[in-house]
Structure formats: structure tokens, C-alpha cells
């Protein structure tokens, strides 16, 4: 197959080196609401989708034209380099988009899991509170039973029964233990609930920043 590029390089090596401009790719930032020249051209022509593979094929066909000048050959080579970079970047973007989409789905699942765990913890807190309330009522019943038993034998009350001060100390000690158990239980449960809520809030803050799934 005839290779016009090698032919040109053999005939005009110095001309090619002298005329070929240095290729430096610069990313230009355009003002808001304005597009690049390529974007404006695509909008004007009504082009929405660009197939890079097809453009590469057309460039190859165009590059096989032996009637092209040296400057045109250089432009085709540079255009092919740009398209190759674009294709590489698009693949990277698609991979990143897929990873972000999967991460968003994972965060949604974690959010649902945290919501369920929050409900379970609230139910557990209510259950423990009811259990402590029942235990406190049982203590009060035992105190009443003890008091009634002491009241049934007035003769032995002076020597064997508790004094009023001792009974008050007993009640205070029982109340102190009950409050301590209740406080420790609630602190422990509140700590777990607080940690779960922080994770849930973090997930809720991250989810809105993720891009929507691509419909391709």
C-alpha cells in the first residue's frame, strides 16, 4: 500500500521539520454561557453527538490523500492526536461516572440501613425505659411490703425494725442506684444513636453532590 507520509518525509525532511509547528495542547476557559469554537459550531449545525471513532476513520482516509500539502498533513496529525486524547479522557470520565453512580447507590443503601437501625435503636431505648420503670415499680412494691411487715409487729419494731432515718437512707440508696443505672443505659444508647445519626447525616450530605446516573 502506498504510504504518502513516508514519501513526503523522504522528499521534504527539512521542509517538514521547518514548517511543522510545535503542538501544545492548551485548555481554554470560556466565559460563562459561552462555548468554545467547536461547541458553537456544533450548536449551529445542530450536532449533539460526536462519534470519535468515526472521526478517526475519516481522518485516516483524509490522511491517505497524496495531494495534501505539508501543512495539511501536519494539521491532520495534530487533529488525530487531539481525538486520541479526547477518546482517552472520555473513557476515564465514563469510568469515573460509573464509579460515582455505584457509590451513590451504595450510599442510598447505607442511608436506608441507617434509617432502619435508627428505628431499631429507638425501639430498644423505649423497651429499656419500660424495663427500668417496671424495675422501679417493683422496688417500690418491695419497700411497701417491707414497711407493712414491720408494721404488723409493733412489739419488735423498737428493737428490730428500721428507724425512719434508716428507711429514708434505704430509699435514697435505691433511688440513687436506679438513677445511675438509668443514666448509664441512656448514655450508652444515646452514644450509639449519635454515631449512627452522624453517619446518616454524612451520607445525606454526600448524595446531593453526586451526579445523576447516565441514561445511555
Q: How far apart are CA 200 and CA 107, in angstroms?
A: 9
Question: 135 with 178: CB under 8 angstroms?
Answer: yes
Write down the pLDDT at residue 132: 77
Per the confidence metrics, is the pTM higher than 0.85?
no
Write down the pLDDT at residue 80: 85
Q: What are phi and psi of 46, to 5 degrees?
A: 75, 25
pLDDT band at 52 (very low <50, low <70, confident <90, very high): confident
Average pLDDT of span 119-139: 78
Q: Is 73 exposed, middle or buried (0-12, 13-18, 19+ CB in 10 A)?
A: buried
Residues 161-203: tens digit of each pLDDT: 567 777 777 777 777 777 777 777 777 777 777 777 777 777 6
Q: How far apart are CA 49 and CA 46, in angstroms?
A: 9
Average pLDDT of span 11-20: 42
Buried b (16+ CB within 10 A) or exposed e, 11-34: eeeeeeeeeeeeeeeeeeeeeeee
Tell me which of 157 and 51 has the higher pLDDT.
Answer: 51
Give me the count of residues in the chain.
Answer: 216
pLDDT band at 78 (very low <50, low <70, confident <90, very high): confident
* Residue 78 CA neighbour count, 13 Å, CB half: 13
Write down the pLDDT at residue 31: 53
Write down the pLDDT at residue 164: 75
Average pLDDT of span 65-73: 80
Amino acid at each position: 500500500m502506498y504510504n504518502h507520509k513516508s514519501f513526503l518525509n523522504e522528499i521534504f525532511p527539512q521542509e517538514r521539520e521547518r514548517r511543522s509547528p510545535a503542538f501544545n495542547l492548551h485548555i481554554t476557559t470560556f466565559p460563562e454561557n459561552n462555548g468554545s469554537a467547536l461547541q458553537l459550531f456544533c450548536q449551529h449545525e445542530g450536532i449533539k453527538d460526536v462519534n470519535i471513532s468515526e472521526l478517526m476513520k475519516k481522518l485516516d482516509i483524509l490522511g491517505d490523500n497524496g495531494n495534501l500539502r505539508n501543512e495539511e498533513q501536519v494539521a491532520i496529525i495534530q487533529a488525530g492526536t487531539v481525538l486520541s486524547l479526547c477518546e482517552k479522557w472520555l473513557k476515564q470520565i465514563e469510568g469515573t461516572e460509573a464509579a460515582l453512580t455505584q457509590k451513590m447507590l451504595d450510599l442510598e443503601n447505607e442511608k436506608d440501613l441507617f434509617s432502619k437501625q435508627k428505628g431499631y435503636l429507638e425501639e430498644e431505648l423505649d423497651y429499656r425505659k419500660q424495663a427500668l420503670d417496671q424495675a422501679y415499680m417493683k422496688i417500690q412494691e418491695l419497700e411497701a411490703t417491707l414497711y407493712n411487715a414491720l408494721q404488723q409487729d409493733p412489739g419488735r419494731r423498737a428493737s428490730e425494725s428500721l428507724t425512719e432515718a434508716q428507711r429514708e437512707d434505704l430509699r435514697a440508696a435505691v433511688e440513687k442506684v436506679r438513677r445511675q443505672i438509668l443514666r448509664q443505659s441512656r448514655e450508652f444508647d444515646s452514644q450509639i444513636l449519635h454515631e449512627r445519626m452522624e453517619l446518616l447525616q454524612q451520607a445525606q450530605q454526600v448524595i446531593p453532590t453526586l451526579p445523576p446516573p447516565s441514561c445511555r
